[in-house]
Amino acid sequence: MSKAKGKAKQVKGKIKESAGSAMDDKGMQAEGGAERMSGKAEETTAKASDKTKSATRKS
């Protein structure tokens, strides 16, 4: 997992959400929202991992 991959997933999800909204496709909107949230979780996990590694090195 990486912050960049998480951010990319968020962007892809947002695009899907917007496309779903424009086409009035609730399924695509939901799929995009889930993908966006998954990307956010991935980015947050990567940030936490980086902080843990940084703190471990300082000790």
Pair 48, 18: CB distance under 8 Å: no
Taking the C-alpha atoms of residue 30 and residue 17, their distance in angstroms, rounded to an integer, is 7
Residue 16: the pLDDT is 98
Which secondary-structure segment (H or E) carries 59?
none
pLDDT above 70 (res 59): no
Q: What is the pLDDT of residue 54?
A: 83
Q: How many CB atoms lie within 10 A of CB 7?
A: 15
pLDDT digits (tens, 9 = 90+) for 9-51: 999 999 999 999 999 999 999 999 999 999 999 999 999 998 8
